[in-house]
């Protein structure tokens, strides 16, 4: 009986996994009239990550990426131009034309990239469809295939991007409004990027030594709060230079009056005696570049950043209109947590830059500091605990904090507060915050003692982020005419 044709070589020995054995094999390219790809000595498993990605013209494929001609190796195919050129035996040393067509035996082999790319964690959901082996052999190859339309759109996964400025240890508002939501999103989505926005921090004057320490402190706090580098990419923004390069291109598509109308510019410029710098004016464009550089589809934002995300959406649409459909228009993921206000002035949000030290509760505060700050929190002359942000902003802020740290609804918190006056209720809220932050504070102290580990986390995350960013930015360069 004739042996069944195979696209792959013999299986690896039992002493060595087939994938490891395959990684040791060379993958030469054969220079012929049509560009060919020599997939020699594969195991019977799908191609390993080191193999070159093979892109096949869509005119020979159907909508799900399978060959239109189901005859093995092009037999009974009368179209000479599209006929797959294989050696007669179609044996272990197996040649594929890259440009025109593909062998049925090869394209019938399917793989999931997350099963064969351990250095590219959780990029593809478990529910994603399988796709032809020709489409991907490396994460970079898959990204290029996606951007060039080689794969169908239903294979694109949702991607989350968000960032935080390195202001040191985050405060209560940062944790409840952003970081807590980040922890939930890394469990829900399969492609998540979180960035320490050190470039954005330069819009306000900082000493270099302070900035370096703030970057490490913010990283330690994020990790202590539950961010897992195995489930997301955590990296420093400045370690991926494509952020600023793309920002320049997008800035050339953005008009100045639009930036001057943004409320963040007006507010911060007024705080600098109307002497705001260029970075303060244009940092929303850099934010847009941060998001679009990874083709992010969803961005968790607070209420004060919605207008900046709308700018990113408009820039993406403008770019697509000018150069062709390329960037997805990112959607907002709004936090369900009410905005946390200052404990000393409940009409403004809690901030690290507040000159009143008792106004802001930091994640790393000691129990004594937390109790003192809540005891001094501004309320009113009514002792009953109610929720009415317009007429009783101070007490309503305490109720919002209590509900957020306990995971209860506003109604449940108010039910628990029946019979308590505001003085006693402040201590109840303080105790809830202490219980929430005590394990986080202890973990922050441990992480801060190992700066090498924190630096390694950020550098490793930047390498992975750059692997995503580079092919996207290179395509942007091509579209605008740089190459």
Summarize pLDDT for 249-292 with one digit per residue, the tens.
999 999 999 998 888 777 777 666 667 788 889 999 999 999 99
Instruction: Tell me how far apart the alpha carbons of residues 119 and 233 are, in angstroms, rounded to a whole number.
Output: 11
Q: Which one of the listed residues 268, 339, 451, 466 is annotated catalytic?
A: 268
- Position 338 scores a pLDDT of 79
At 65, is the pLDDT very low, low, confident or very high (cuts 50, 70, 90)? very low
> Measured between alpha carbons, how far is residue 478 from residues 231, 245, 326 in Å?
32, 14, 12
| pLDDT exceeds cutoff 80 at 456 | yes
103-117, 129-143, 262-276, 289-303, range with greatest mean pLDDT: 289-303
Instruction: Tell me how far apart the alpha carbons of residues 76 and 82 are, in angstroms, rounded to a whole number.
Output: 12
Helical residues (DSSP H) of 11-72, grouped into ranges: 18-23
At 151, is the pLDDT very low, low, confident or very high (cuts 50, 70, 90)? very low
Active site residue 268: yes
8 Å CB contact between 279 and 244: no
Buried b (16+ CB within 10 A) or exposed e, 140-167: bbbbbbbbeebbeeebbeebbbbbbbbb
Distance, C-alpha 64 to centroid of its chain = 27
- Position 355 scores a pLDDT of 87
Summarize pLDDT for 285-299 with one digit per residue, the tens.
999 999 999 999 999
* pTM over cut 0.85: no
Helical residues (DSSP H) of 73-226, grouped into ranges: 104-107, 113-116, 139-147, 172-174, 180-188, 198-201, 208-224
Q: Which one of the listed residues 206, 339, 352, 451 is annotated catalytic?
A: 352
Q: Which one of the listed residues 231, 339, 349, 466 is annotated catalytic?
A: 349
Specify the pairing of strand 131-132 against strand 160-164.
Answer: unpaired
User: What is the pLDDT averaged over residues 399-415?
Assistant: 94
């Amino acid at each position: 009986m004739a042996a069944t044709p195979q696209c792959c070589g013999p299986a690896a020995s039992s002493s060595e996994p087939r994938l490891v054995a395959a990684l040791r094999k060379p993958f030469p390219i054969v220079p012929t009239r049509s560009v060919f790809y020599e997939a020699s000595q594969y195991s019977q498993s799908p191609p390993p990550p080191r193999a070159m990605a093979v892109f096949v013209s869509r005119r020979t494929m159907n909508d799900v990426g399978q060959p239109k001609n189901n005859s093995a190796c092009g037999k009974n195919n009368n179209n000479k131009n599209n006929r797959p050129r294989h050696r007669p035996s179609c044996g272990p040393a197996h040649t594929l034309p890259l440009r025109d067509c593909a062998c049925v035996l090869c394209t019938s082999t399917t793989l999931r990239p997350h099963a064969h790319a351990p250095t590219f964690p959780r990029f593809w959901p478990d529910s994603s469809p399988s796709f032809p082996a020709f489409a991907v052999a490396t994460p970079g190859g898959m990204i290029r295939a996606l951007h060039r339309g080689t794969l169908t759109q239903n294979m694109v996964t949702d991607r989350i991007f968000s960032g935080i400025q390195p202001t040191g240890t985050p405060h209560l508002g940062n944790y409840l409004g952003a970081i807590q939501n980040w922890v939930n999103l890394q469990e829900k989505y399969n492609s998540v990027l979180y960035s320490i926005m050190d470039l954005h921090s330069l819009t306000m004057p900082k000493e270099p030594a302070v900035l370096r320490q703030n970057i490490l402190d913010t990283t330690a706090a994020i990790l202590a709060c539950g961010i897992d580098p195995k489930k997301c990419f955590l990296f420093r923004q400045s370690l991926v230079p494509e952020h600023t390069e793309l920002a320049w291109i997008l800035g050339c598509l953005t008009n100045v009056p639009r930036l001057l109308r943004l409320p963040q510019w007006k507010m911060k410029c007024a705080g600098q005696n109307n002497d705001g710098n260029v970075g303060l004016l244009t940092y929303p464009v850099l934010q847009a570049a941060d998001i679009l550089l990874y083709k992010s589809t969803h961005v968790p934002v607070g209420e004060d950043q919605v207008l900046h995300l709308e700018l990113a959406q408009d820039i993406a649409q403008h770019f697509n209109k000018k150069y062709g459909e390329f960037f997805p228009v990112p959607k907002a993921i709004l936090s369900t947590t009410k905005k946390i206000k200052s404990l000393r002035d409940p009409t403004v949000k809690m901030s690290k830059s507040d000159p009143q030290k008792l106004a802001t509760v930091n994640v790393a505060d000691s129990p004594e500091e937390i109790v003192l700050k809540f005891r001094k929190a501004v309320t009113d002359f009514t002792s009953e605990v109610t929720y009415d942000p317009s007429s009783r902003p101070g007490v309503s802020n305490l109720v919002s904090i209590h509900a957020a740290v306990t995971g209860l609804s506003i109604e449940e918190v108010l039910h628990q507060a029946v019979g308590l006056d505001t003085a006693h209720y402040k201590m109840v809220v303080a105790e809830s915050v202490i219980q929430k932050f005590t394990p986080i504070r202890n973990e922050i102290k441990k992480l801060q003692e190992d700066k090498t580990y924190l630096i390694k986390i950020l550098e490793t995350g930047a390498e992975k982020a750059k692997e995503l960013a580079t092919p996207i930015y290179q395509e942007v360069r091509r579209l605008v005419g740089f190459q």
